[in-house]
Amino acid sequence: MPAKPKLPTLDDVAKAAGVSTATVSRCLNAPDRVVKATKDRVLAEVARLGYTPNFGARAMAAKRTFTVGAIIPTMDNAIFARGLQAFQEQLHERGYTLLVSSTSYRPEIEAEQVRTLVARGADGVLLIGYDRDAAIYEYLASRSVPTLIAWAYDKENPQPSVGFDNRASMQALAQLVWDHGHRRIGVISGTTQGNDRARRRLEGLRDVFAQNGLPHEALKVIETPYGVKNGGIAFAKLMAGDMPPSVVMCGNDVLAVGAVRRAHLMKLDVPRDVSITGFDDIELARIVSPPLTTVHVPHRKMGRAAANALIDMVETDSIGPFPPLQSKIRMRASLADINGNVTGTPDP
Amino acid sequence: MPAKPKLPTLDDVAKAAGVSTATVSRCLNAPDRVVKATKDRVLAEVARLGYTPNFGARAMAAKRTFTVGAIIPTMDNAIFARGLQAFQEQLHERGYTLLVSSTSYRPEIEAEQVRTLVARGADGVLLIGYDRDAAIYEYLASRSVPTLIAWAYDKENPQPSVGFDNRASMQALAQLVWDHGHRRIGVISGTTQGNDRARRRLEGLRDVFAQNGLPHEALKVIETPYGVKNGGIAFAKLMAGDMPPSVVMCGNDVLAVGAVRRAHLMKLDVPRDVSITGFDDIELARIVSPPLTTVHVPHRKMGRAAANALIDMVETDSIGPFPPLQSKIRMRASLADINGNVTGTPDP
């Protein structure tokens, strides 16, 4: 790579534009909050001088970088996409830029990405769910980087979070399934190891069926990584016995879509032959046929609330607690009662 | 925020572990390429001392940060998700961490994000498509940051890219539609302003119908931002005239899924009453009913190739050109001939 030219400094820009270094920093990082005439003058000098803010200069000038990091388990499957998009839009409103990393559900990659984001100067970090090595939390605390959990809410856990109660949400759906008369239950759960959202959902479901006195052997659970194909494979396994379940409850909509598609291939009518439920209410849930009865997660609301909470943590040392968000059940056509009658609407 | 404790340096870690600073840097950034015993010793000291690599120290030690930035138009809708996931996996294989930003299709946000990624020390940047203000390219060149385009390939354009020819891809699909006997064509295009992928697809489609002598008034085009809802609205408009199209070709699968759903609500049978085609072959294309005839984009292959190309640019000053990728047509059940006969397979 060719040698880089000697770099102009924040001071050079500030002097040329006749403003303070803090104003230059703000023009670059939170331009919405600077008067247009000032901003135009500063940005003209930035362009003329070819100034690139660097970590040290900005940190000195503004005590922060106006950059926030988020680490999500996957960019695929759109599970986190909608909430993250709203998170980013709200960060932008408040003058921050979002940098995202995805772990492919591999904890050792998350640790590496946390280090990278801290090294790149992130003012705060958003993580999904609670489950991770304590060393990661200790590391972030030792570096004084505000850290917010999203997609989960557990009032027992002291870590600040903006999310919903995965266990209670799945309890509500399981009770609905029970009330529809189902007594042979198949479950396709996401991998629970290292994933508190998946584990809480499965616990919520077990809670309800146990409370209602369902015999242990009437509940069949398969765990599998999230994915359309995996949902289909697990569904075929659950349906293979001579007493197949009348309903298959899935840990998320992606698994449920895989189950519905496999049911079609197996010439099973959903929901007359077998009901299928999801979780998340992502766009897929309405596009698959029949549309899924599922738990609606307020993705966009959660994303915006998380952005505000994390910025408050960065700017005002807020440590929460932040109010939990409410999920709700979306009744659609993939759940019938035990006699095959559908009570959900086809396309709400 | 509480004052941060005095930070241990790269030198401190190197001394404590009895290795060079370059080895420490490599342990943190490309651990797969360090002998396990060395890595374990270094990481133990990193943990014990609570060392956080910072931009300056790492840049000095390794001349790079092993961080790559990608800026994509949206995280929603899964259009870029699969390719980006593969891009990240391959970067990880080669010891790099990916940070992603999304612009919500707003060019002024892209400029801000480019500055942020450069300021955060990105070794290289991936951008989607060619269309953007020349100042962004000039800025990246002036900072000597290798920049790769993906999701597009134009042999006339000197900017290095790893992608496919959007125009030729849509030409192939349009010719197929023509060969199926369709002569009244509706088109739902993504917004072409500032989006060369959308524009090239629309050009490809116009090329073929003009070459075949289709009268100008037989081609009706609506432009709309990508989105399921927008696809539905545009579809309803196209079908409202007294000579509605026999086929509606969509700029991507997301628009096409919106069109299919709206067709169901309008009690139109797809493809017997109207054929619908997509572009991208994202997961949705197979999940919607009927599944979409579409252009298959090799998302994962493109993501991996882009990672290798960009790292080669960073490490060896490669400037391409990189070979274009090939798209291909996926025949499924949403396209019939003018007599309503389906030749595609339902679920390939």
Scanning every residue of chain A, which has its alpha carbon at the shortest distance from the alpha carbon of B261?
Answer: A287
pLDDT value of residue A21: 75
pLDDT score recorded for residue B61: 46
A307 touches chain B (CB under 8 A): no
Angstrom distance (rounded) from CA A33 to CA A53: 18
Chain mean pLDDT for chain B: 89
What's residue A299's pLDDT?
A: 95
pLDDT at B55: 45
Q: How many CB atoms lie within 10 A of CB B216?
A: 8
Q: CA-CA distance, B148 to B270, in Å (whole number)?
A: 40
- Does residue B77 sit at the A interface (CB-CB below 8 Å)? yes
pLDDT score for A310: 97
- Say how far residue B312 (Cα) sits from the centre of its chain: 19
Q: How far apart are the two ends of chain A, measured CA to CA in Å?
A: 56
With vertex at residue A261, the alpha carbon angle to CA A258 and CA A266, rounded to the nearest 5 degrees, is 120
A168-196 pLDDT tens trace: 999 999 999 999 999 999 999 999 999 99
Pairs of CB atoms within 8 A across A/B: 166
The Cα angle at residue B323 between residues B317 and B329, in degrees rounded to 5: 145
For position A269, what pLDDT does the model report?
97
| Whole-angstrom distance, CA of residue A55 vs CA of residue A157 | 33
pLDDT at residue A54, rounded to an integer: 52
Q: Report the chain A residue with the minimal C-alpha distance to residue B145.
A: A1
- Hey, what are B240's tokens? 């409202």
User: Domain A166-297 classified CATH 3.40.50.2300?
Assistant: yes
Task: Evaluate if residue B60 carries a pLDDT over 70.
Answer: no
Question: What's the CA gap between A254 and A182, in Å, rounded?
Answer: 22
- Both tokens of B140, joined, read 């990246």
Residue B348: what pLDDT? 46
What is the distance between the alpha carbons of residues A162 and A176, in angstroms, rounded to a whole number? 26
* Residue B132: per-residue pLDDT: 95
Among B60, B76, B123, the residue to mutate for chain A (most A Cβ within 10 A): B76
The angle subtended at Cα A121 by Cα A66 and Cα A307, nearest 5°, is 40
- At B57 the pLDDT is 43
| Percentage of chain B lying above the pLDDT 90 cut | 69
pLDDT of residue B43: 81
Q: Is B221 exposed, middle or buried (0-12, 13-18, 19+ CB in 10 A)?
A: middle
ipTM of the complex as predicted = 0.77
pLDDT in tens, B141-197: 999 999 999 999 998 999 999 999 999 999 999 999 999 999 999 999 999 999 999
**What is the Cα A305 distance to its own chain's centre?**
12
What contacts A292, CB < 8 A, 6 or more positions away? A253, A256, A257, A260, A276, A277, A278, A281, A285, A286, A330, A332, A334
A27 touches chain B (CB under 8 A): no
Give the pLDDT score at A1.
41
CA distance A53 to B344: 54
Residues A228 and A256: their CA atoms lie apart, in Å, by 8
A284's CB contacts (< 8 A; 6+ apart) are A78, A253, A254, A257, B283, B284, B287
Q: Which candidate from A112, A144, A228 shows the least CB-CB separation from B283?
A: A228
Q: Would you tell me how many other CB atoms lie within 10 Å of the CB of residue B239?
A: 18
Partnered with residue A275 across adjacent β-strands are: A247
State the Cα–Cα distance between residues A321 and B11, nearest whole angstrom. 40
Domain layout of chain B by residue ranges: 67-164+298-326, 166-297
- Specify the CATH class of A10-62 in words: mainly alpha
Low-confidence ranges of chain A (pLDDT < 70): 1-7, 29-33, 52-63, 77, 344-348
pLDDT tens column, B296-346: 999 999 999 999 999 999 999 888 889 999 999 999 999 999 998 987 654
The per-residue pLDDT for B174 is: 98
* Cβ contact A92–B109 (<8 Å): yes
**Whole-number Cα distances in Å, B324 to A175, A191, B191, B214:** 53, 38, 24, 31
Render pLDDT for A42-100 as a digit per residue (tens, 0 to 9). Answer: 888 887 777 766 544 444 445 688 999 999 998 876 789 889 999 999 999 999 999 99
Closest-CA residue of chain A to B319? A1
Looking from the CA of B333 toward its CB, the CA atoms found within 13 Å total 14
Question: Least CA distance to B289: which residue of chain A?
Answer: A289
Residue A155: both structure tokens together: 């009032």
Closest partner residue to A284 among B115, B146, B287, by Cβ? Answer: B287
Q: What is the pLDDT at residue A32?
A: 64
Average the pLDDT over B44-67 and give the result. 66
Residue B169 gets which letter from DSSP? Answer: H
3-class state of residue A118 by DSSP:
helix
Amino acid at A234: A
Q: What is the DSSP string of A126-185?
A: EEESS-S-HHHHHHHHHTT--EEEES---TT--S-EE---HHHHHHHHHHHHHHTT--SE
Torsions phi, psi for B100 (to 5 deg): -115, 140
Bridging pattern class, strands B328-330 and B294-296:
antiparallel
A139 CB within 8 Å of a chain B CB = yes
Nearest to B184 by CA among B275, B267, B68, B303: B275
Interface of B with A in 148-207 (CB under 8 A): none
Q: State how far the Cα of B82 lies from the Cα of A62, in Å rounded to an integer.
A: 37
pLDDT higher than 50, residue B5: no
Q: What is the pLDDT of residue B54?
A: 52
B166-297 matches B67-164+298-326 in CATH topology: yes
Q: Tell me the nearest-neighbour CA distance from A119 into chain B, angstroms.
A: 5
Report residue B63: phi and psi, to 5°: 60, 0
Mention every residue, 6+ apart, whose C-beta is less than 8 A from residue A92.
Answer: A98, B109
Strand-pair category, A328-330 with A294-296: antiparallel
pLDDT at B266 > cutoff 90:
yes
Q: Which fold has domain B67-164+298-326?
A: Rossmann fold (3.40.50)
Calculate mean pLDDT across residues B217-228.
Answer: 95
Whether residue B203 has pLDDT greater than 70: yes
Q: Which residues contact B33 (CB under 8 A, 6 or more apart)?
A: B26, B95
Q: Give whole-number Cα distances, A53 to A13, A47, B114, in Å.
A: 10, 12, 12
Cα(B192)–Cα(B269) distance, integer angstroms: 30
Contact, A325 vs A298, CB < 8 A? yes
Say yes or no: B213 contacts chain A, CB-CB below 8 A: no
For A139-166, give one letter per residue: b (16+ CB within 10 A) or e: bbeebebbbbbbbbbbeeeeebbbbbbb
- Please, which pLDDT band fits residue B7 given cuts at 50, 70 and 90? low
**What pLDDT, on the 0 to 100 scale, is given for residue A6?**
58
Position B58 scores a pLDDT of 42
